[in-house]
Chain A
Amino acid sequence: MNTGLRFIATVALALVVAACARDVRDEPVAPSAPADGGISQTDRIDARDFSDARNLENPDSILSQRVIYFEFDRSDVRAQFRPIIEAHAAYMDANPSARVSLESHADERGSREYNLGLGERRGSAVRQLLSAGGASSGQMEVVSYGEERPVCRESNNECWQRNRRVEIVYTAR
């Protein structure tokens, strides 16, 4: 198969996978793993099958969790979040067409441009762990928004905790 056709086939497969993954309950089940990983035709989803795109929307699967939280002015990933990152690394390893944007954020404290740097440092920490778990660097992009995109807008510890985060956003599955 020439490269062009292979590319189209890959994109088509990715689109099918993405369409199915959007809602695992209503959509008919379709092949969800790449050809080299074997095709699963069963209705049952194994929540621990990290190659299965349906688990991205399966609340029983750790793959449905995509936000990593950080401590103030820190970028080291705490132990409790490592299993999430490992699961996504396994998924990306099994699905080479998958692409993620690591949208990285800081809380409002301190200056905005410094927080842009701090956000990126957190995104890079997650990228490194994903990479160690099998994801390739071409599958990941870190985009730091600093403190510009808070999910919580009050000036207190609870909000700040929720805002210091990296979101793993799939741009292709």
Chain B
Amino acid sequence: MRVSLKEKLSLDFVTTVKAIGWILVMGWLGTAPAHAQLRIEIVDGVEGATPVAVVPFVWAASQQAPATGVADVVAANLARTGLFEAIPRSQLIERPTEPQDVGFGAWRLVGADYLIMGRVVDAPDGPGLEIEYHLVDVNAETAVLSQALPVRPGGLRFGAHRVSDAIYEALMGVPGAFATRIAYVVVQDSGTDDEVFELIVADADGFNPQAVVRNSEPIMSPAWSPDGRQIAYVSFATGRSNIIVQDLYTGQNRVVSSSRGINGAPAFSPDGRFLAVSLSRGGSPDIWLIDLETNDRRQLTRHWSINTEPVWSKDGEVIYFTSDRAGRPQIYSIGRDGAGLARLTFEGEYNSRASVGLDDRFLALVHSPGNNDFRIGIYDRETERLRVLSDGRMDESPSFAPNGSMILYARRDNGRGELAAVSADGRVRQRLVNSEGDVREPAWSPLLR
């Protein structure tokens, strides 16, 4: 049974819960955005960003070419990192599609360090397309990378993100995070009788925003499953907090926790089997583990204080969480078996809502030195130093990119929520501008393969 879009966006929670079978991802490329799209602006880039020329790809496929080509997407992706500078199209002196066609002397005059080129052809077998692309080092006069990437029908834009990932990895030595998605909550008509909370999933560059759930009651705390197929979130649709797990592809969802009190802060384990959550069924919020296969639940912390915002270590053995057991909120860690409780942060009056970086060395968190300002900090577990990365007064909800390069977070500007991102070294800053609504609680997906 396929449910219509109108029903899909119904405010009726029961309909939403029961709607089985609608397809969220109807070809991630090509569907008109149903919502205002985020536009990413660079606030601060890196001094001496690497100049890159991205030549428009030749369209040699039988179907019609899209308005936005592969080269446009790749150039925008690289420029958005602040580490690269895309040479304007008007300065592209020739249009090679293969490394042997490149006149290196002329490209050196233009100032390009690297050249990206290619073409789009029909897939040699079956439906879909293939993107052939080359990354050329202009100074060394060599091809750094030459590959062909098969693309599913309707998946050209996502294919362009994967090309960007491969190029980024070839140049930076770490994988890119372009072929990923972000989830966030937007509140429309905030503060009015028409107030509506929406859980949105969009491509990492803000394109293709799709509403996953819509409700007049609050939606909170979206968290991705490790395979990027499911999102866990907190819904107040019944008038109380519930934890829901929703499949993005089938639309199926189920309530995994609705006990008395708070059901909050879901976080998938790295193997996707468990959900760490915060439940106050025992009187105050404690960390619990829910086995998503058996529905067994086990209590990890037992303390009268607030224990919430659990996140998993990369190996799934340790859980980092926020607790105010010492008076004010600080980050603690505990083994998944409930043993080995330790306090991690001591600097400042307020540290909460940790997000784990590429490995467990870096934790992004909400930090306040005690002056009423809340900023995004990064805590280095090796040096035990905390560094403030953002400059707002009401910054929150940090979420690491799956490659550890950027931290997405929420800030407030003139009473309205918007998203921003900062590189883990603090040098690159982006604003994700939304034309409407109050945007909050971003969550960056894992790498999607």
Query: Interface of A with B (CB < 8 Å)?
Result: 73, 108-114, 116-118, 120-121, 124, 142-146, 148-150, 153-155
Q: Check A111–B366 contact: CB distance below 8 A.
A: yes
Complex partner residue of A117 from B191, B284, B374, B397, CB under 8 angstroms: B284
Q: Check B394–A116 contact: CB distance below 8 A.
A: no
**B167-175, B233-241, B337-345: which lies at the interface:** B233-241
A–B complex contacts, Cβ < 8 Å, 26 sampled: A108-B394, A109-B394, A110-B329, A110-B368, A110-B374, A111-B322, A111-B352, A111-B366, A111-B397, A112-B220, A112-B396, A112-B397, A112-B440, A113-B221, A113-B308, A114-B309, A116-B220, A116-B241, A116-B265, A116-B285, A120-B280, A124-B283, A143-B241, A144-B261, A150-B191, A154-B415
Q: Check A155–B415 contact: CB distance below 8 A.
A: yes
Query: Interface of B with A (CB < 8 Å)?
Result: 190-191, 218, 220-221, 236, 239-241, 261-262, 264-265, 278, 280, 283-285, 306-309, 322, 324, 328-329, 350, 352-353, 366, 368, 372, 374, 393-394, 396-397, 412, 415, 440-441
Q: Check B441–A112 contact: CB distance below 8 A.
A: yes
CA distance in complex: A118, B264 (Å): 13
Q: Name A154's closest neighbour in chain B (CB-CB).
A: B415
Q: Check A114–B240 contact: CB distance below 8 A.
A: no
For the complex, would chain A's binding face be called helix, strand, loop or mixed by DSSP majority?
mixed
Residues in chain B near residue A73, CB distance under 8 A: 328
Residues in chain B near residue A142, CB distance under 8 A: 261
A141 to nearest B CB, angstroms?
A: 8
Q: Name A119's closest neighbour in chain B (CB-CB).
A: B262
Q: Name B440's closest neighbour in chain A (CB-CB).
A: A112
Q: Check B240–A143 contact: CB distance below 8 A.
A: yes
Q: Check B280–A113 contact: CB distance below 8 A.
A: no
Q: Check B285–A110 contact: CB distance below 8 A.
A: no
Residues in chain A near residue B328, CB distance under 8 A: 73
CA distance in complex: A171, B352 (Å): 35
Q: Check A116–B240 contact: CB distance below 8 A.
A: no
Residues in chain B near residue A110, CB distance under 8 A: 329, 350, 352, 366, 368, 374, 396
CA distance in complex: A170, B313 (Å): 44
Q: Check A116–B353 contact: CB distance below 8 A.
A: no
Residues in chain A near residue B396, CB distance under 8 A: 110-112
Complex partner residue of A153 from B191, B239, B261, B368, CB under 8 angstroms: B191
A113 to nearest B CB, angstroms?
A: 4
Q: Check B308–A145 contact: CB distance below 8 A.
A: no
Q: Check A114–B352 contact: CB distance below 8 A.
A: yes
B442 to nearest A CB, angstroms?
A: 12
Residues in chain A near residue B394, CB distance under 8 A: 108-109, 155
CA distance in complex: A36, B241 (Å): 37
CA distance in complex: A117, B278 (Å): 9
Complex partner residue of A116 from B190, B262, B350, CB under 8 angstroms: B262
Residues in chain A near residue B350, CB distance under 8 A: 110
Q: Check A117–B308 contact: CB distance below 8 A.
A: yes
Q: Check A120–B261 contact: CB distance below 8 A.
A: yes
CA distance in complex: A120, B264 (Å): 12
B222 to nearest A CB, angstroms?
A: 11
Complex partner residue of B262 from A108, A144, A148, A153, CB under 8 angstroms: A144
A62 to nearest B CB, angstroms?
A: 27
8 nearest CB pairs, A to B: A117-B306, A148-B218, A111-B353, A111-B352, A113-B265, A117-B285, A113-B308, A111-B366
Given A110-B374, A120-B261: A153 and B190 interface contact (C-beta under 8 Å): yes
B213 to nearest A CB, angstroms?
A: 15
B263 to nearest A CB, angstroms?
A: 10
Q: Check B261–A149 contact: CB distance below 8 A.
A: no
Q: Name A145's closest neighbour in chain B (CB-CB).
A: B218
Residues in chain A near residue B374, CB distance under 8 A: 109-110
Residues in chain B near residue A145, CB distance under 8 A: 218, 236
A67 to nearest B CB, angstroms?
A: 18
Q: Check B278–A143 contact: CB distance below 8 A.
A: no
Residues in chain B near residue A146, CB distance under 8 A: 220
B184 to nearest A CB, angstroms?
A: 13
